[in-house]
Structure 1
């Protein structure tokens, strides 16, 4: 059974896709007639190779000069860089976009790994429960503030500037009529304490106060890195959602 599907750029037709079983490889490059041919003068003749490995895959970069980037289209900027000459770099994403620099262009194709496996959750064991690393209550106002902080990046703009307090207030007002910049600030302070964020050296002002922008950036980075908020949580910002 195949575990990896390679989808050329614009190749929505199943006949254009490459299906790989575990252990099988697919090479790609400008003159690769036996694999994925990329007709662009800026792509190496033998640019790289994909190998299926059960529920994930590896990428070998056979270019001598170009770094390849594998993006997670669902990961708010999450990506893996594969240096020139690197062999068998493991790629963990279920949906991936391989981006190749080619002259002044960026050439891409997709790789799907639909056989991602997850352990079955065992029944309750005797003894005290494991403490939660990030104890967040999705019904609380602070969680709505966290979602609003991450909203732009969750929508696929990983380098977008974070919203200001005024913009956060506008996003939250449809479901929180009494929201104000002060209440937003209070919730950001509370999240910083709840998630145990220690002030980084470059986020502390001369008077010892932590700068708001530094805290927001670290909150968003932590939330997206550990999936504390997901794209589905954006529904909390829609009018009529929440409480």
Structure 2
């Protein structure tokens, strides 16, 4: 079964007809300007004759930069500017993104080669051994008020604006009030403070050392939540549905 899909740069204005090249684990695809030396020809004078090589590795892929001078950038289109650089001559650089875009600098142009890694492998749950269960790293209940507050804080960045400023407390109140009529600055701020303790960004009030004051509390919460997928785009449904009865 194939594990990697490569979509070459567009050659005409109609991108719908772009060829997709599918690679099974272990298969390689070389690309460059020379049709004789490569599996994929990129007909541009600014591309090296033998520019690079993509190798499928199960659920991920590796990139070799065969250029002598050009650095390639591999972008994560879904990752808020996340990218890696693969320098000239670098071999077998692992790429961790499910959706990727190799950007080839070519004499003033930037040519995109898209690479998709749709295969997801998971461990079989039946292989679990007997014994104590592992404690959850982050214990969140999507039916609670605090989760709706966290979702409202994360919403702008989950909606495709990765560098958007975080909503103010008043904006969070306005966002939540249709389904939580009693929402107020005090209750929202209480939930933000509660989340900071629950997600271990700050010690609880009953601990001997309460630690220093946490500055940038909202930013820290959103950064942690998005980094570990504690809130996903699908979870934003809690903002349009009545939240739980427990006022957390």
TM-score by length of 2: 0.78
Deviation, 1:69, is: 2.6
CA RMSD of aligned residues (A): 2.7
SS in 1 for 2:178: helix
- Alignment counterpart, residue 31 of structure 2, candidates 28, 31, 36: 28
Determine the structure 2 residue equivalent to 1:17: 20
Deviation, 1:92, is: 2.6
Aligned residues: 228
1:242 aligns with 2:247: no
Deviation, 1:83, is: 3.1
2:142–2:238 contact (8 Å) kept in structure 1: no
Larger mean CA deviation between 49-58 and 90-99 belongs to: 90-99
Determine the structure 1 residue equivalent to 2:6: 6
1:9–1:108 contact (8 Å) kept in structure 2: yes
Larger radius of gyration: 2
Larger mean CA deviation between 20-29 and 143-152 belongs to: 20-29
Deviation, 1:230, is: 1.0
User: Using the alignment, how far apart are the partners of 2:162 and 2:179 within structure 1?
Assistant: 26
Deviation, 1:78, is: 6.9
Deviation, 1:131, is: 1.0
User: Using the alignment, how far apart are the partners of 2:65 and 2:73 within structure 1?
Assistant: 7
- Alignment counterpart, residue 152 of structure 1, candidates 156, 166, 176: 156
| Gap change, CA 1:102 and 1:181, over 3 Å in 2 | farther
Deviation, 1:58, is: 0.7
- Alignment counterpart, residue 73 of structure 2, candidates 43, 65, 68: 68
2:151–2:235 contact (8 Å) kept in structure 1: yes
Determine the structure 2 residue equivalent to 1:220: 222
Determine the structure 1 residue equivalent to 2:115: 111
